[in-house]
Amino acid sequence: AQSVTQPDIHITVSEGASLELRCNYSYGATPYLFWYVQSPGQGLQLLLKYFSGDTLVQGIKGFEAEFKRSQSSFNLRKPSVHWSDAAEYFCAVGDDTGGFKTIFGAGTRLFVKA
C-alpha cells in the first residue's frame, strides 16, 4: 500500500531564506504526487502536482518540487520565503488501486520569523 512520510513536523525559517520541505513516498509504479497548503482553520489548496514528464514542477506562489525516483522523494522548495507562507504543508500520493484515495502525509508546519 502507498504511504507518504513527511519527516519534519515543523520547520522555522527566516523571512527571505530558502525553504525545502521533505517528502518521501512508497508506491509501486510511477506515482501521482501532490503538495497542498493549509492556512489555519481553512481547507487545503493545491500548490502543485506531478504526474509524468519533467521532474521539476512549478506551482503557485513561487513553489516548486522535484521528483526523484531513485530517492522516492518529492521535496517542496521555495527560494525566498515570505511571512505569508506560514502554514501547514501536506504531501500526498495518488491511489494506485483505482484512482480515488489520495494518501496524505502528516504535514509539516512552517513558521516564518522576521
Partner 1 sequence: SQTIHQWPATLVQPVGSPLSLECTVEGTSNPNLYWYRQAAGRGLQLLFYSVGIGQISSEVPQNLSASRPQDRQFILSSKKLLLSDSGFYLCAWSEGADNSPLHFGNGTRLTVT
Contacts to partner 1 by CB under 8 A? 9, 32, 34, 36, 41-46, 49, 51, 90, 94-95, 98-102, 104-107
Burial classification of residue 21, based on how many CB atoms lie within 10 Å of its CB (0-12 exposed, 13-18 middle, 19 or more buried): buried
Nearer to partner 1, 73 or 104 (CB): 104
Nearer to partner 1, 15 or 104 (CB): 104
CA dist 71 and 94 (Å) reads: 18
Nearer to partner 1, 53 or 99 (CB): 99
**Min CB(69)–partner 1 separation in Å:** 17
> What is the number of other CB atoms lying within 10 angstroms of the CB of residue 41?
5
**Min CB(102)–partner 1 separation in Å:** 6
CA-to-CA dists, residue 77 to 4, 34, 99, angstroms = 17, 13, 27
